[in-house]
Amino acid sequence: MLFAPCCGSCGEFIIGRVIKAMNSNWHPGCFRCELCDVELADLGFVKNAGRHLCRPCHNREKAKGLGRYVCQRCHLVIDEQPLMFKNDAYHPDHFSCTHCGKELTAEARELKGELYCLPCHDKMGVPICGACRRPIEGRVVNALGKQWHVEHFVCAKCEKPFLGHRHYEKKGLAYCETHYNQLFGDVCYNCSHVIEGDVVSALNKAWCVHCFSCSTCNSKLTLKNKFVEFDMKPVCKRCYEKFPLELKKRLKKLSELAARKAQPKSVGLNSA
């Protein structure tokens, strides 16, 4: 309390290592670049317009005042015509592969702030996102025969990321369940909702598994059960047997007529 210096940033007493700079005392962790917030204790700093800046930020501020660019590799002001890559400027002789030193082209790949030629990058086995074509450094999503950043693997319709949720594929595109069903799903004849899951195809219609039942007694039916079509809906064999004899005859006649119409017509050739 009597002799310990106070930090120029947080105002707390400094116990241990003291950084003396800019006419003040600082905790090592509190003495940071005023632009990018990087710790300066072991990097050194440059005084710029009353501010303590790291050297890269100082060079950028200096270049901004001169109307020049700063090289992304060496962080120095570029006096000649810069070489631009993805909105970053480089000295022409600094636009080279970090691994082999080969001069780079527009096919250069960036990884953790460093540039690599395509062969060196491929040897590192770093996956490339199928959407943004940039390296994937964290979690990888494997789908549609490609690899993706988690946030870039999205529904083709609503563009919301799946974030681990189930997706549905159609013609090389991925869809969330809602939009897959809206675009490609079957609508149940009974409940008029998009069918999620298995589809029962019967009587030239689609049904939910739980909706496919006898229209008279509501007992559940499967395609293995015997049923009859009545009023465009299925009727189980037990309920059908209870129908009046005249109605059954009429239904049988309609069924035979429909079967005949469904048969292909034979075409006769008249000889000349």
Do 172 and 196 share a domain, yes or no?
A: no
Q: Is residue 239 a part of any domain in this protein?
A: yes
Q: Is residue 60 a part of any domain in this protein?
A: yes
The CATH number assigned to the domain holding 163 equals: 2.10.110.10
The CA R_g of the chain, rounded to the nearest whole Å, is 37
Cα angle for residues 76, 82, 87 (degrees, 5° grid): 95
**CB 189: neighbour CB atoms within 10 A?**
19
What residues form DSSP beta bridges with 110?
A: 115
Q: Is residue 94 a part of any domain in this protein?
A: no
pTM: 0.35
Q: Among 166, 183, 200, which residue terminates a domain?
A: 183
Q: Is residue 121 a part of any domain in this protein?
A: no
Q: Is residue 96 a part of any domain in this protein?
A: no
What residues form DSSP beta bridges with 39?
A: 32
Do 166 and 203 share a domain, yes or no?
A: no
Do 191 and 249 share a domain, yes or no?
A: yes
Q: Is residue 105 a part of any domain in this protein?
A: no
CB contact set of 214 (below 8 Å; sequence gap of 6+): 221, 227, 234, 235, 236, 239
How many structural domains comprise the chain?
A: 3
Do 175 and 227 share a domain, yes or no?
A: no
Do 193 and 234 share a domain, yes or no?
A: yes
Give the tokens for residue 207. Answer: 């049904």
Do 148 and 191 share a domain, yes or no?
A: no
pLDDT in tens, the chain (272 residues): 677 889 988 888 888 889 898 888 989 999 999 889 999 888 888 888 788 888 888 877 777 766 777 787 787 777 777 777 776 777 777 778 878 888 777 777 777 767 788 788 777 777 888 888 887 877 889 999 899 999 999 999 999 999 888 888 888 899 887 888 788 777 788 887 777 778 888 888 888 888 899 988 988 888 888 888 888 888 898 898 888 888 888 888 877 776 676 665 544 444 43
CA–CA gap between residue 190 and residue 205 (Å, rounded):
10
| Domain boundaries, position 23 | 19-66
Please report the pLDDT score of residue 78 as a whole number. 77
Give the tokens for residue 136. Answer: 């994937």
Q: Is residue 264 a part of any domain in this protein?
A: no
Q: Is residue 74 a part of any domain in this protein?
A: no
Do 34 and 53 share a domain, yes or no?
A: yes
